């Protein structure tokens, strides 16, 4: 078995069908031992058929036989009442001389030797290995493990494994998350441990675990049915050494004179030069004539994976949602693509042999930028972040999405075809830049710096919660992740002093822009480092740019924003914009 959405690395798994499993770990028993177990099981089954009442007779029916050819030091004791077997060492074999009677202990419910069971128990697996399953799934798998002998008697047509039935019971995934990497993935062609896929596989496990938590379950919208996270390895196989990509080549003579990086690279300090060329040079390459090739590689890989996902999940293109996470340089590329993205994406044509290379063949609901220098590139291109004209989303005003002073048109750099933009920054990340100021710099100064709600509990908060439980009359701490009930907005008139210094028309326009760009009224969020008063920024800086994939605060924030009901009224209080109280003024 190998992955179908990315090129396999060392993640090719050998698949075998198993019937017998170790009860305590739910790992499969070795085939040679399992075959002996199955032979004994069928032998007892045939004997019990001739003994009349099956349930009463099987309770006391045991069989002992040596596992010849497998291990001379093991013996099997079989008790069909619970479809269990026990692997016994010679020192546990029945012996009148030593007074050993393992059968009697087993009948009384004691565990002797190594217990194994016939049939896979999904609930037991999830308990041991930290997975999650619904009670219905666990009951179904437990029933299959207890009564597998009924399957042996009936016809076996249409038989499916419990994992397949559990997957079908969960239903189709409703949210697909595509993750684009940044610089440095050229190194992964030489060093597998650097491969982006490994980081995303771990990140996917964190997301799945968080989606099953009680906190997230309370927030999920009706009909939300899971998240799938897949990597976009757009850099793999992409080369800039070929001369065909050169532009403005007018003659064959010029083609012959062209050169590549290897022709001008000295042989000194090869390890350092290789690292620089494979990691840092992606940025100047993107700012050169190679930009189009890099953009096409990202779009083509995203569309390839999306098409394959839709083929394997019929109906997803009509009812599913797609979200994009982009890191580092990948975030700049995503902003570039989504600026040219059509406001309304044409219906997906799976009959087309090749995917599009100019725009994404899916509509992007949420865009998450991690460690992003997009703000700097907007500065270079004299661009601004601005909502897309005609881009209606839940909770938006139809007049605002068509107001020329608020929205822009497709093709304008910074005018993205998305519902929400999230710019996530580690405080010490030297590559990341803010984006609130690219909407309106004056309005951005009136907003308090926003931090993603942390999953860790501080000492002071723990003490405060303990005091609230002990001292009567103290109100419990508020859950900032719970969505407030909908209520009409109340108008508050500003003071006379505010009327004299505020430019309300510009402030109102800036506020509307930000709410169209994000339901929370802001774009930038910082991650808390968690080092406390002893943190050293220059030490944290070393790993800050690559730490997003293991940050549990970001994982929870991602699950909340993807899983919640869309719309401004359904945003989480802890994520909403907070004004700093600074007066909005314009220099004349």
Residue 534 has pLDDT above 60, yes or no: no
Q: Which residue has the higher pLDDT, 227 or 153?
A: 227
Question: pLDDT band at residue 134, thresholds of 50, 70 and 90?
Answer: very low
DSSP 433-464: ---HHHH-HHHHTTBPPPBPPPSS--HHHHHH
The mean pLDDT value for 351-365 works out to: 90
What are the backbone dihedrals phi and psi of residue 312, each rounded to the nearest 5 degrees, phi first? -85, -15
Task: List the structure tokens of 170.
Answer: 């969960």
What are the backbone dihedrals phi and psi of residue 563, each rounded to the nearest 5 degrees, phi first? -85, -20
Q: Convert the pLDDT of each residue in 59-74 to its tens digit.
A: 434 444 433 333 433 4
Question: pLDDT band at residue 161, thresholds of 50, 70 and 90?
Answer: low
Residue 125 has pLDDT above 90, yes or no: no
State percent of the chain over pLDDT 70: 67
Report the SS3 class of residue 117: strand
Task: List the structure tokens of 85.
Answer: 């077997």
pTM as predicted: 0.74
Determine the Cα–Cα distance for residues 39 and 45; give it in Å rounded to an integer. 10
Residue 519 has pLDDT above 70, yes or no: yes
Question: pLDDT band at residue 340, thresholds of 50, 70 and 90?
Answer: very high
**H-run or E-run covering 318:** helix 316-319
CA dihedral 564→569→575→576, nearest 10 degrees, is: 170
Task: List the structure tokens of 46.
Answer: 């045939």
Task: List the structure tokens of 320.
Answer: 């599913």
**Confidence at residue 83, expressed as pLDDT on a 0 to 100 scale:** 72
Determine the Cα–Cα distance for residues 348 and 483; give it in Å rounded to an integer. 35
Angle value at C-alpha 102, between 100 and 104, nearest 5 degrees: 105
Determine the Cα–Cα distance for residues 559 and 325; give it in Å rounded to an integer. 13
> In terms of Cα–Cα distance, which of 249, 253, 250, 209 is closest to 227?
209
Question: pLDDT band at residue 11, thresholds of 50, 70 and 90?
Answer: low
Residues 6+ apart with CB under 8 A from 378: 335, 384, 385, 413, 414, 435, 438
DSSP 212-229: TSHHHHHHPPTT---EEE
Range in 124-133, 154-163, 179-188, 228-237 the model is least confident about: 154-163
Whether the Cβ atoms of residue 184 and residue 278 lie closer than 8 Å to each other: yes
Q: Convert the pLDDT of each residue in 362-414 to its tens digit.
A: 999 999 999 999 999 999 999 999 999 999 999 888 899 999 999 999 999 99
Alpha-carbon torsion 529, 534, 538, 539, what sign?
negative
Q: How many residues belong to the chain?
A: 588
Residues 6+ apart with CB under 8 A from 266: 273
Whether the Cβ atoms of residue 338 and residue 367 lie closer than 8 Å to each other: yes
Report the SS3 class of residue 425: strand
Residues 6+ apart with CB under 8 A from 480: 453, 572, 573, 574
Residue 32 has pLDDT above 60, yes or no: yes
Task: List the structure tokens of 377.
Answer: 């590139």
Q: Are strands 114-118 and 84-88 parallel, antiparallel or unpaired?
A: antiparallel
> In terms of Cα–Cα distance, which of 559, 577, 573, 566 is closest to 396?
566
Determine the Cα–Cα distance for residues 132 and 129; give it in Å rounded to an integer. 9
Question: pLDDT band at residue 227, thresholds of 50, 70 and 90?
Answer: very high
Residues 6+ apart with CB under 8 A from 142: 121, 123, 124
Question: pLDDT band at residue 450, thresholds of 50, 70 and 90?
Answer: very high
Determine the Cα–Cα distance for residues 568 and 95; give it in Å rounded to an integer. 74
Q: What 8-state DSSP symbol labels residue 313? A: S
**Confidence at residue 103, expressed as pLDDT on a 0 to 100 scale:** 63
Q: What 8-state DSSP symbol labels residue 277? A: I
Q: Which residue has the higher pLDDT, 136 or 227?
A: 227
> In terms of Cα–Cα distance, which of 356, 408, 373, 357 is closest to 387?
408
The mean pLDDT value for 276-296 works out to: 86
How far apart, in Å, are the Cα atoms of 487 and each of 480, 484, 519, 566, 569?
A: 17, 9, 16, 16, 9
End-to-end CA distance of the chain: 67
């Amino acid at each position: 078995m190998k992955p179908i959405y990315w090129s396999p690395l060392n993640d090719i798994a050998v698949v075998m069908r198993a019937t017998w499993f170790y009860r305590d770990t739910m790992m499969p028993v070795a085939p040679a031992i399992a075959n002996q177990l199955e032979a004994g099981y069928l032998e007892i089954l045939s004997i019990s058929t001739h003994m009349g009442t099956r349930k009463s007779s099987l309770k006391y029916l045991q069989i002992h036989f040596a596992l010849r050819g497998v291990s001379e030091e093991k013996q099997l004791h079989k008790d069909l009442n619970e479809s269990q077997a026990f692997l016994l060492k010679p020192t546990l074999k029945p012996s009148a001389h030593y007074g050993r009677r393992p059968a009697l202990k087993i009948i009384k419910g004691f565990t002797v030797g190594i217990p194994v069971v016939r049939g896979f128990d999904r609930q037991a697996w999830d308990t041991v290995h930290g997975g999650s399953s619904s009670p219905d799934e666990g009951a179904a798998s437990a029933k299959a493990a207890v009564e597998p002998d009924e399957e042996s008697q009936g016809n076996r047509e249409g038989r499916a494994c419990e994992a397949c039935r559990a997957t079908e019971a969960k239903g189709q995934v409703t949210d697909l998350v595509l993750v684009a990497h940044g610089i440095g993935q050229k190194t992964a062609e030489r060093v597998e441990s650097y491969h982006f896929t490994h980081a995303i596989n771990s990140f996917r496990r964190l997301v799945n675990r968080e989606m099953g938590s009680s906190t997230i379950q309370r927030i999920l919208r009706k009909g939300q049915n899971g998240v799938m996270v897949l990597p976009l390895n757009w850099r793999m196989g992409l080369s800039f050494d070929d001369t065909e990509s050169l532009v403005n080549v007018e003659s064959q003579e010029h083609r012959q004179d062209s050169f590549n990086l290897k022709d001008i690279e000295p042989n000194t300090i090869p390890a350092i030069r290789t690292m620089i060329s494979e990691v840092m040079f992606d940025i100047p390459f993107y700012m050169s004539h190679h930009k189009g090739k890099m953009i096409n590689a990202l779009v083509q890989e995203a569309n390839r994976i999306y098409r394959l996902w839709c083929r394997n999940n019929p109906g997803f293109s009509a009812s599913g949602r797609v979200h994009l996470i982009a890191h580092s340089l990948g975030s700049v590329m995503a902003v570039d693509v989504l600026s040219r993205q059509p406001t309304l994406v044409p219906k997906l044509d799976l009959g087309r042999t090749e995917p599009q290379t100019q725009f994404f063949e899916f509509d992007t609901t949420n865009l998450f930028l991690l460690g992003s220098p997009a703000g700097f590139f907007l500065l270079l291109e004299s661009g601004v972040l601005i909502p897309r004209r005609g881009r209606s989303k839940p909770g938006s005003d139809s007049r605002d999405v068509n107001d020329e002073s608020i929205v822009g048109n497709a093709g304008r750099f910074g005018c993205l075809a998305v519902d929400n933009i999230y710019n996530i920054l580690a405080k010490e990340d030297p590559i990341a830049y803010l984006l609130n100021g690219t909407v309106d710099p004056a309005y951005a100064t009136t907003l308090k710096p926003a931090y993603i709600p942390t999953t860790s509990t501080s000492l002071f908060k723990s003490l405060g919660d303990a005091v609230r439980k002990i001292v009567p009359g103290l109100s419990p701490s508020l859950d900032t992740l719970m969505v407030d009930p909908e209520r009409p907005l109340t108008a508050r008139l500003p003071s006379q002093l505010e009327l004299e210094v505020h430019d309300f028309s510009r402030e109102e326009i800036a506020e509307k822009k930000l709410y169209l760009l994000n339901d929370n009224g802001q774009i930038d969020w910082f991650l808390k480092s968690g080092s406390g008063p002893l943190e050293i920024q220059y030490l944290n800086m070393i790993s800050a740019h690559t730490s997003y994939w293991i940050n549990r605060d970001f994982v929870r924030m991602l699950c909340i924003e993807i899983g919640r009901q869309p719309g401004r009224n359904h945003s989480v209080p802890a994520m909403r914009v907070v004004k700093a109280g600074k007066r909005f003024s314009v220099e004349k």
